[in-house]
Structure 1
Amino acid sequence: MSVRVAIVGLGWAGRELWLPLLSEHADFEVVAVTDTEPAAREAFGVVPGIPVYATLDALTPRSIDLAVVAVPNYLHAEVAATLLGKGISVFLEKPVCLTSEEAGTLAAAERSGGAMLLAGSAAPYRSDVGALARLVPDLGHIRHVDLSWVRARGIPKAGGWFTQRSKAGGGVLFDLGWHLLDTLASLLGPARFAEVVGVTANDFVNVGSWSAAWRHDQPVADAGGDVEDTARGFLVREDGVSVALHASWASHEARDVSRIQVVGSEGTAELRCTFGFSPNRHPQSVLTLTREGITMPVPVPDEPIGNEYRRQLDGLAAVLGDPGNRGRAIGEARTTVGVIEDFYASARSARVRNTVPAYR
C-alpha cells in the first residue's frame, strides 16, 4: 500500500523537485498540495486527482500519511510542528530548524502528536559518496576530514528570503553547510562537537552578477542581503576527529566543486565532484585512495544529476514504518544546528576582536 503524501509549499522545490519525484515513485501517492500564496496555487494549475488547498487545515491524519514540507526556512519549524502536533508525520527539507529552541519545539510536537519527523538531506545518498563511505573502514583510525562545497557563481534568490537572516537563519552555512555536516555524519557516524572556530564573509552576496543564473530566480528590487556567502571553519568532534569546513555560494573558481577528503592512519580517500543541480560542474566524480605515496583511482558509479533525491525516497517508506526512528531526526538536527550556532558565535567574536585597537 502506497504512502499518501501532501506537498506543503509550491515553490521551486515543491513544484519542480518533490512533485515529479513522488508522483513517479511506486511507494508514494500525492493526494494533496498546499500553499498560502494565491499566485503559487495558480501557477501549479490543475493536476487531475490532486486538490490544491490554501491552508494546512484540510490535512488530517485520516487523509494523508506524510507531509513533505518545502517552504522557506523561517517557516520550517512552525509548519512542521503544526503538522506533527496534529499527528501527521513530516518529511522536512534541510535545514530542519534554525535554532536550538526550534529543535525543542519540534521534539515536543513529535511527542505530543505521536507522529514522526523525517529529515531530508540528499547529499549522503549520492552514489559517489556511497563509494567513498565504503572506503572509510579500510582507512584505519580516522584523524581528519576536509569538507568543501564551493560554487563559482551561485547565490540563490538574489535579494529574496534566502539572503535575509531573519528568514533563512543564515547564509551559505545553513544552505550548503548543512549538507556537508550531514554528509560527515553519514561517513563517520553522528557525534557532537567539542570545539568550533569559524569565520564568515559576504563579499559577493549583494552583487547581482554572482547570483545563481541557472536557478532562473527573479531578483527582488531594493532588497539587500545580510547573510554570509562564504564560511570557513575548523571543528573538533568529541571522538577526536578534526574537521575543516569551507562552504561558498560564490568564489573566483571556474566551476562549482565539492571535495571530501578523509584522512586515516592507514590511508587517505578523496572525492572531488559537484553537489547539487548547477550545470557549471565538473564533468565527472573522481575518487582516489592514497597509501604510502601511491594514489590509486577508485571506480565511481555514474548517475544522472539529482538522482540522490530519488534514492533518498527509496527507503523512506520503511523508515516511516518503524516507530523506533521517532526522535532520531530531531537528535541529529540538534547537533547540526548547535554546530552552526557555535560557528556564528565564533565568527561574531572574531569580528569584534578585529574592531578593537590592539594595545601597544
Structure 2
Amino acid sequence: MNIRAAVVGFGWAGRELWLPRLTEHAGFDVVAVVDPAPNARAALDAAPGVPVHPTLDALTARAVDLAVVAVPNHLHAEVAARLLGKGISVFLEKPVCLTSAEADTLAAAERDGGATLLAGSAAPHRGDVDALARLLPELGRIRHVDLSWVRARGIPQAGGWFTQRNKAGGGVLFDLGWHLLDTLASLLGPARFTQVVGVTSNDFVGSGTWSAAWRQDEPAAGACGDVEDTARGFLVRDDGVSVCLSAGWASHEARDETRIQVAGSAGTAELRCTFGFSPNRHPHARLTLTREGTTTSLPVPDEPIGTEYRRQLDGLTEALGDPGRRGRAIGEARTTVRVIEGFYASARSTHEQTAVPARH
C-alpha cells in the first residue's frame, strides 16, 4: 500500500524538490498540497488534480500518512508540532528546529500524537558520501575531520526570509552548516560536542550580485539581510575527534565545492564534490586515500544531481514502520542546534571583544 503524502509549503523546496519526486515515486500518492499563497494552485502543473488547501485544518490522520514539510525555517517547529499532534507523521526539511526550546515542543507533540518525526537531510544519502563512509575502517583511529561547503555565489533569495534572522534563525550555518553536521554524524556516529568556537562574517549578504541565480528567486524589494554568509569554526566531540567546519554562501572561489577530509591514525581520506543543485560545480566527485606519502584515487559513483533526495524517499516506508525511529530525529536535532547555539554565542563574544577599544 502506498504512503499517502501531503506537501506542506510550496516554495522552492516543495515545488522543485519534493512534489516532483513524490509524484514520480511508485511508493507514494500525493493527496494534498498546503500553502496559503493564492498562486500555489497555478503552480501545480506537475500534479494536476491534487487538491490545494490554504491551512493545515484540511489534513487528517485518516487521509494522510505523511506530511512533507518545506515551509520557511521559523515555521518548522510550529507546523510540524501541529501535524504530529494530530497523529500525522512528518518528514521535515532541515533545520528541524531553531532552538532547544523548539526541540522540546516537537518532542512533546510527537509523544502526544503517537506519530513519528523524520528529518530531511540529503547529503548522507549521496553515493560519494557512502563511498567515503565505507573507506573509514581503513583509516584506523579517527582523529580529525575537515568539513567545508563553500559556494562562489549562492546566497538564496537575497533580502528574502533566508537572509532574515527572525525567519531563518541564522544564515549559512543553519542552511549549509546543518547539512555538514548531519554528514559528520552519519560518518562517525552521533556525539555531543564539548567545545565549540566559531566566527561569522557577512561581507556578501547585503549585495544581490552574490545571489544564487540557479534558484531563480526574485530578490525581495527593500529588504536587507541580517545573517551571516560565512561561518568558520573549530569543534571537539566527546569522543575526542576535532572538527574544522567552514560554510559559505559566497566567496571569491571559481566554483562551488564541498570538501570532507577525515584524518586517522592509519591514513587520510578526502572527498571533493559539490553538494546541492548549483550548476557551478565540479563535474565529478574525487575520493582519495593518502598513506605514508602516497595518494591513491578511488572510484566513486557518478550519479545525476539530486539522486540523494529520491534515495531518502526510498527508505521512508521502512522508517515509518519502525517504532524505534520515534524520538531519534529530535534527539539528533537537539545535538545539532546546541552546536549552532554555541557557535553563535562564540561568534557574538568575538565580535563584542573586537568592538572594545584596546587599552594602552
Q: When the two structures are superposed, what TM-score results if normalisation uses the length of structure 2?
A: 0.99
Counterpart mapping for 1:256-275 below 5 A:
256-275=256-275
Contact 2:147-2:244 within 8 A present in 1 as well:
yes
Q: Secondary structure at the match of 1:112?
A: helix
The farther-off stretch of 313-322 and 194-203 is 313-322
Structure 2 counterparts to residues 193-212 of structure 1, below 5 A: 193-212=193-212
Question: How far 1:316 sits from its partner (Å)?
Answer: 1.1
Q: CA deviation at 1:359?
A: 2.8
Instruction: Tell me the equivalent position of 1:253.
Output: 253
Deviation at 1:45, TM superposition (A): 5.3
Secondary structure, aligned partner of 2:278: coil
Tell me what 2:136 maps to.
Answer: 136
**SS class of match (1:124):** helix
Matched-pair contact (CA < 8 Å) for 2:23–2:47: no
Once the two structures are TM-superposed, the CA of residue 233 in structure 1 deviates from its matched residue by 0.1
- Give the secondary-structure state (helix, strand or coil) at the position aligned to 1:259: strand
Segments of 5+ residues of structure 1 without an aligned counterpart are none
Structure 1 partner of 2:117: 117
Task: Evaluate the alpha carbon distance shift between residue 209 and residue 121 of structure 1 in structure 2; reply closer, same or farther with a 3 A threshold.
Answer: same
Q: How many Å separate the matches in 1 of 2:46 and 2:238?
A: 52
- Say whether the 8 Å CA contact 1:31–1:49 is kept in structure 2: no
Amino acid of the structure 2 residue aligned with 1:98: L
Determine whether 1:303 maps to 2:303.
yes
Report the identity percentage.
78
Give 1:290 deviation, angstroms: 0.4
Aligned to 2:25: 25
What letter is aligned with 2:128? D
Structure 2 unpaired stretches of 5+: none
Q: Which deviates more, 256-265 or 26-35?
A: 26-35
How far 1:314 sits from its partner (Å)?
0.9
The one-letter code of the counterpart of 2:290 is: T
> How many Å apart are 1:24 and its aligned residue?
1.1
Confirm whether residue 229 of structure 1 aligns to residue 259 of structure 2.
no
Equivalent position of 1:92 in the other structure: 92
- Bigger mean CA offset, 39-48 vs 11-20: 39-48
Alpha-carbon distance in structure 2 between the residues aligned to 1:217 and 1:315: 31
* 2-structure distance, mates of 1:320, 1:83: 15
Q: SS at the partner of 1:111? A: helix
Q: Partner of 2:290 in structure 1?
A: 290
**Distance in 2 of aligned mates of 1:346 and 1:159:** 25
1:1-360 to 2 correspondence within 5 Å?
1-44=1-44, 47-360=47-360
TM-score with structure 1 length normalisation? 0.99
Q: Report if the CA contact (8 A) 2:261-2:268 is conserved.
A: yes
Provide Cα deviations, 1:66-112, integer angstroms capped at 9, x if missing partner: 00001110110000000000010000000000111001100000000
Cα distance in structure 2, aligned partners of 1:70 and 1:227: 21
RMSD between aligned residues: 0.9
Residue pair 1:10, 1:44 contacting (<8 A) in 2 also: no
Equivalent pairs counted in the alignment come to: 360
Is the Cα–Cα contact under 8 Å of residues 132 and 271 in structure 1 kept in the other structure?
yes
Alignment check: 8 A CA contact 1:193 1:236 kept:
yes
Contact 1:122 1:309 in 2 (8 A): yes
User: By how many angstroms is 1:46 displaced?
Assistant: 8.5
